[in-house]
Chain A
Amino acid sequence: MKKNVVGLLFCLLAWGCVAEEINAAAISTEQIQIEEISSEQKGLEIMQEVDKRDLGWGDMSTDMQMILKNKNGDEHVRNLRLKTLEMLDDGDKSLSIFDSPRDIKGTAFLSFTHALEADEQWLYLPALKRVKRISSSNKSGPFLGSEFAFEDLTSFELKKFKYNYLRDEVVDNVDCFVIETFPQYEHSGYTRNIVWIDKERYIPLKTDYYDRKNALLKTQTFNDYQQYLGQYWRAAKTLMANHLTGKSTTLLWENYTFRNGLTERNFDKNTLKRSR
């Protein structure tokens, strides 16, 4: 009997300790949660500002040169023209027309991007004289065999990510916010990205991409920003370096024009054949 009582006492004592620990744990997670909420909130607010400042450009045309480079240092250049229509409640619509290499000259790629669902995509193949709808979950896949995935190139939509403000940092003498973004699209190729946002202009200067095993896969840098219409910043050069394979892709942008009067009719799969 005595033994039992002693045992019971010990049990109670032990329980007391455990309970105390549980309480302490609860408090600390609560604190962490508060901090998380505030850094999540801050991250979201910064990205809302990024989004807000880039609203209202309407439509945009530009010429793009894509330079692929492999580990051997071999290079290959592709040229395309890009038209984009700003959509207010959805991902943007975009039309790319390939000018070179010559085998795919005249190929047109139409894409209605969406934040959380698969994009709708059509490809006009001049050799076949047919428009083909592409049905796949390819957002994570490479665009034109480059180091850019489709999801790296499509327009920025707030809904695409959850955010977490990490810290402030100076990159190349520019004060930046460093923000972690978590893709919300199910088939994304990334677990998270880290973006460096210029504090003054609210534009990205650098993005680190972390693959599905949360290892640093690629780094994108944005260079030679120019301002258009007195408001919108566009980079003239972006470089994507793949750390795993040693390959890289450079995109050079030229002849940006805005508000060219493009409408949804210019982004119609039925007229895709005629886009030149």
Chain B
Amino acid sequence: MKNNTLSKRLGVFAVNHPWWVLLLSLIFVGISAAGIKGLEFTNNYRVFFGEDNPQLLAFDALQNTYSKSDNVMILVEPKNGDIFTRENLQAVVELTKDSWQLPYSSRVDSISNFQHTIAQGDDLIVADLISQPLAMTDEQLQYVKQVAVNEPLLKDRLISRTGHVTGVNVTMQLPGTNPMEAMEITVVVRQMVDAFKLKHPDLTLHLSGMVMMNNAFGEASVKDNSTLIPLMYGIVLLVLIFCLRSFTATMSVILLIIFSIITALGLAIYAGIKLTPTSAMAPTIILTMAVADSVHLLVTFLHNMRLGHEKKKAMQESLRINFQPIVLTSVTTAIGFLSLNFSDAPPFRDLGNIVALGVIIALLLSVTLLPALMTLLPVRVKLKDELDNSAMKKLAAFVIKRRKALLIGNTILALVLMSFIPRNEINDEFVKYFDESIEFRRATDFLNDNLSGIYNVEISIDTGSAGGISEPAYLAKIEQFKLWLLQQPEVVHVNSITDTFKRLNKNMHGDDERWYKLPEERELAAQYLLLYEMSLPYGLDLNDQINIDKSGIRVIASMENLSTRQMLDVERRLHNWMDVNFSEYTINAASPVLMFSHIGQRNIIRMLIGSLAALVLISLILIAAFRSVKLGLISLIPNLIPAGMAFGIWGLIDGQVGLGLSVVTGMTIGIVVDDTVHFISKYRRAKVEKGLSSEEAVRYAFSTVGVALWVTSLVLVSGFVVLSTSSFLMNSGMGLMTAITIAVALIMDFLFLPPILMTLDKKRG
């Protein structure tokens, strides 16, 4: 057999020239791992969207026509429950002034620098609403409060209706050239806020906004990597010591894992991959994946030694027996992860590629470095100290005896569980990507409870002709649109230029309330706007609401926290309304929340194709490896149904499927196949080499790989359970779902695959 000669030669070389192997491995690892020094971490939410993502393109077009709307929202909550005191307003004025100093800030909006307009004779006075609060009289305080809580542009956006919470919104123009922009801003914002809190101990500040979300992606990831990875290493160490019972063997495996991780990361970074909160999970996953190969190899090796074989011989024999299944399982695992390349979100593609790379490197090191290390290091075993596999023997007996019941029972169980799949619904609520341990989540919940939330839709309505926005018919439509939006239960606030037009019209008529309505002539409207625009100070212009030739405006509707289903529902209603009422205008509605609302579905469709491709490829490989179409096809069953059953279980326990979960099937196919491969290859060896019956072959398979399968699955499940404790939902959901899938797969491999084999593959080998 070709494989065997290759594996034999490899084994002979590795054990006879261990120093060479060690040296070459170290050089390879060293050169690759040197790439890590170029490590960059990107924490902009935009990384989740591919360059051709239609929602991203729409959003970019909007941002380039008007202005970018990335922001930090600083929420101020006074202990006395009233913003409108001299001291509290003074604090807001200071905070507004200080916020101009934040990096990349292009505009700061607050109740204090709101450009309040009043008429005074023939003059239009345009000034900050609040400028010298400490010198204000009680009447002035009262006046300012009335203006603020009744101003449509402020109410519910920068001031709560009761005046107990206010916001200072800092708009940032992120150049997008430095992946650490959000972190850079956050450091400065927090310094500013800390200094501010010392000066104003009676105020509580909360930080929300898109920039803070970007930063939360980074912080969640750092938190994960500093808590989860050590935990994972602990678990792996325990499992290895338990099943290998050899210190040197355990340490060698740990070394191999570390090498695999840094090599894969280094090579990925050479290839230009930047780490993201998702791809940063790669080390944890590689850690879990890399264990399996070494465990299979070392269990056999130590078993041979315990039987009294000489060390080198024991290793050569272990390589001979395990080489094919290890290569097979590694390749299928890599294919599974490579299927993530079908994902719409680049971080998942990166994750798939890094892990696939890590798995292949772990394979290479397992058949070269590991045998070399075992040869060089002292390995002591107690003779005949064998892992107890009597449990496996009992299990085999049970499965053989109850095969019919198991066959029917498991079929029913699988069908029942899979019938719960429709209970899942697609949901990508980016606020809920973070659990309450993350500051951004708490601040954003506070924002949602007290002002308008972080979710919004930006809508550009373009007349196509320069100056067209001053057309009375257009303005009337926009006003109608604004009112319609405000009627929607989900909408909390609408920012529309029509409110400014109405106010100016009133100002132009000596502040007569009866003139608080839209100007009725186009020239008049245009000239009011000109007058106002000419009066605005630095950073408070209207360029974020009106495009340069004044042919279109941007309306921003802020919503409360919504699920993806609700958001898509709003979007549908929005488009229906606009199709009817804005047919003569060019419409573009986009926003980050809309981008996230669509990515789940887009990704699921593409991942289905990816998983299918992986499945076909893996099945073909299995058919070739088993040299049996029948076994290859039979293996499909335990490979496929765990994913279906897991999604059914998910529908029962959670039911929220987002970006993170959409990649699980593709990812797990490669992993669950491993158990099947090991089981079927032992089963086949028993039938072909030993000429046993199906029942006997099942018994043989259980006794040879049963324990190893149980141990490796245990490592995998605990690895992904650890991941599931991540404070970042995309990772925790993916972790839990993967753990469920692998656990189900193991159960099916033990309880369902053998009955199927005994039923469908009755012929003697």
Contacts and interface: CB of A to CB of B under 8 A. Distances in A.
B102 interface: yes
A149 B63 CA distance: 22
Contact of B106 (A143, A145, A244): A244
A139 B126 CA distance: 13
A132 B122 contact: yes
Given A101-B467, A136-B536, A138-B534, A107 B527 contact: yes
A128 B524 contact: yes
B513 interface: no
Contacts, number: 148
Contacts of B467: 101-103
Contact of A212 (B61, B100, B549): B100
A263 interface: no
A139 B537 CA distance: 7
Interface in B470-486: 470
Contact of A136 (B104, B524, B537, B546): B537
Interface in B80-133: 100-106, 120, 122-127
B105 A213 contact: yes
A125 interface: yes
Interface string A205-249: 000000011010000000000000000000000000000111100
B72 to A, nearest CB: 14
Contacts of B536: 136, 138, 141-142
B531 A212 contact: no
Contact of B527 (A72, A126, A136, A142): A126
A134 interface: yes
A127 B527 CA distance: 7
B526 A103 contact: yes
Nearest to A125: B527
Interface string A176-187: 000000000001
B534 A109 contact: yes
B533 A144 contact: yes
Interface in A12-40: none
Size bracket, chain B contacts: 35 or more
Contacts of A102: 467
A193 to B, nearest CB: 14
A213 B103 contact: yes
A140 B538 contact: yes
Interface in B524-574: 524, 526-528, 530-531, 533-543, 546-550
B531 A134 contact: yes
B523 A127 contact: yes
B724 to A, nearest CB: 42
B508 interface: yes
A137 B125 CA distance: 10
Interface string B339-370: 00000000000000000000000000000000
A135 B125 contact: yes
B526 A213 contact: no
Contacts of B100: 212-213
B548 A71 contact: no
B248 interface: no
Interface of A: 68-72, 74-76, 101-104, 107, 109, 121, 123, 125-128, 130-145, 149, 187, 189, 212-213, 215, 244-247
- Shortest beta-carbon contacts, A-B, top 6: A103-B526, A140-B538, A189-B538, A76-B549, A127-B523, A71-B64
